[in-house]
């Protein structure tokens, strides 16, 4: 009986195969049996023929400024300005611009560098937006962060005199740069030459100490340029400006200016703004969103923001 069942199944399968073969022959007879043409793919693709808005939308998913930079380096269509485009910058620059304008609030936009062809690109502005300013280097025993917040520093009772906080991760070499500082007490706020890893911990440190000038000058790099304004700060207590070229002017090694136009004192709760314009070589002072005046000119080369605090002082970078 089992053999009979298997024999019946085999006959049914043969019948199905024969039926399907017949159907295939009929379908083949109805179709076009011409040989399909061979398509040769060119070695390059003309991306200029594709709407740039499509690329812009796709590229917006890439993410960070670093990833967009990598995209720009892949081909000219992404990284170079296209002559057929209405944009004044590359496709990647347009994506970076859209990212900044869509993500940053008006308050967050204020301290960002302004776009300037050849100096401040939209990629660099996006990178700055992605990495807020923080006091990443603390020098001296009397200064600290609290609750892990590196955007604020506090003067403590552990130190004698002043301690320093430097924003060493953000080096300014060209263009315009604006920062806001919310103060408690009467700290010093200014710019100085970047000198990575030169001082740390509880070192007795001051940019205006003549005993350190030789060490500072030994750390000089080509990025400093030919300028001789190596450090410049404002004392919030009276508004006076102190500058040095690390050469030892006067007894204390700095030049004190007590009469720059617009000079005012500041107090707890005030918000200090500083605009470093390296095109014009000026450092402009603002108090509570009001422009007071240019506190120093003649600046060129590379700088970073820094503050100095004593006991009961505090500064928050905005």
Q: What is the mean pLDDT of the chain?
A: 81
Query: Would you list the domain boundaries of the chain?
Result: 50-130, 137-317
Identify the CATH homologous superfamily for domain 137-317. Answer: SPRY domain (2.60.120.920)
**Lowest mean pLDDT segment, chosen from 152-156, 201-205, 289-293, 298-302:** 201-205
Residue 186 has pLDDT above 60, yes or no: yes
- Tell me what pLDDT residue 123 has: 75
> What integer is the mean pLDDT of 174-178?
87
d(CA 184, CA 190): 16
Residue 236 has pLDDT above 80, yes or no: yes
Share of the chain above pLDDT 70, in %: 70
- Tell me what pLDDT residue 250 has: 56
Q: Is residue 15 very low, low, confident or very high in pLDDT (cuts 50, 70, 90)?
A: confident
**pLDDT tens-digit readout, 17-39:** 777 777 766 666 655 556 667 76
- Tell me what pLDDT residue 138 has: 92
The answer to whether 152 and 133 are in contact (CB under 8 A) is no
| Residue with the larger pLDDT of the pair 104 and 175 | 175
- Tell me what pLDDT residue 28 has: 63
d(CA 41, CA 277): 52
The answer to whether 114 and 175 are in contact (CB under 8 A) is yes
To the nearest 10°, report the CA torsion of 213, 219, 225, 231.
Answer: -40
Burial class for 130, CB neighbours closer than 10 Å (0-12, 13-18, 19+): middle
Q: Is residue 101 very low, low, confident or very high in pLDDT (cuts 50, 70, 90)?
A: confident
- Tell me what pLDDT residue 65 has: 66
- Tell me what pLDDT residue 163 has: 92
Among 219, 242, 262, which Cα is nearest to 306's? 242
């Amino acid at each position: 009986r089992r053999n009979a069942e298997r024999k019946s199944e085999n006959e049914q399968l043969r019948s199905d195969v024969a039926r399907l073969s017949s159907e295939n022959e009929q379908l083949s007879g109805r179709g076009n049996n011409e040989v399909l043409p061979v398509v040769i793919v060119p070695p390059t693709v003309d991306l200029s023929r594709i709407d740039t808005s499509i690329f812009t939308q796709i590229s917006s998913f890439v993410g960070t400024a670093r990833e967009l930079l990598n995209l720009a380096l892949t081909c000219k269509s992404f990284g170079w300005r296209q002559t057929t485009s209405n944009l004044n910058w590359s496709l990647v620059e347009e994506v970076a611009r859209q990212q900044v304008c869509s993500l940053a609030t008006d308050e967050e936009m204020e301290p960002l560098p302004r776009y300037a062809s050849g100096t401040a690109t939209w990629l660099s502005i996006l990178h700055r937006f992605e990495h807020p300013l923080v006091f990443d280097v603390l020098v001296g025993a009397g200064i600290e962060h609290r609750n892990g917040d590196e955007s604020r520093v506090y003067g403590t009772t552990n130190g004698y005199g002043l301690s320093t906080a430097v924003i060493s991760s953000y080096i300014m070499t060209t263009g315009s740069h604006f920062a806001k500082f919310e103060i408690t007490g009467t700290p010093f706020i200014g710019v100085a030459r970047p000198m990575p890893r030169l001082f740390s911990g509880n070192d007795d440190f001051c940019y205006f100490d003549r005993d350190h000038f030789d060490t500072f000058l030994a750390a000089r790099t080509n990025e400093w340029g030919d300028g001789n304004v190596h450090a410049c700060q404002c004392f919030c207590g009276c508004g006076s400006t102190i500058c040095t070229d690390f050469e030892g002017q006067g007894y204390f090694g700095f030049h004190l200016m007590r009469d720059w136009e617009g000079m005012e004192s500041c107090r707890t709760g005030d918000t200090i703004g500083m605009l470093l314009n390296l095109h014009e070589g000026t450092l402009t002072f603002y108090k509570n969103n009001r422009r007071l005046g240019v506190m120093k000119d003649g600046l060129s080369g590379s700088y970073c923001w820094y503050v100095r605090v004593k006991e009961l002082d505090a500064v928050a970078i905005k």
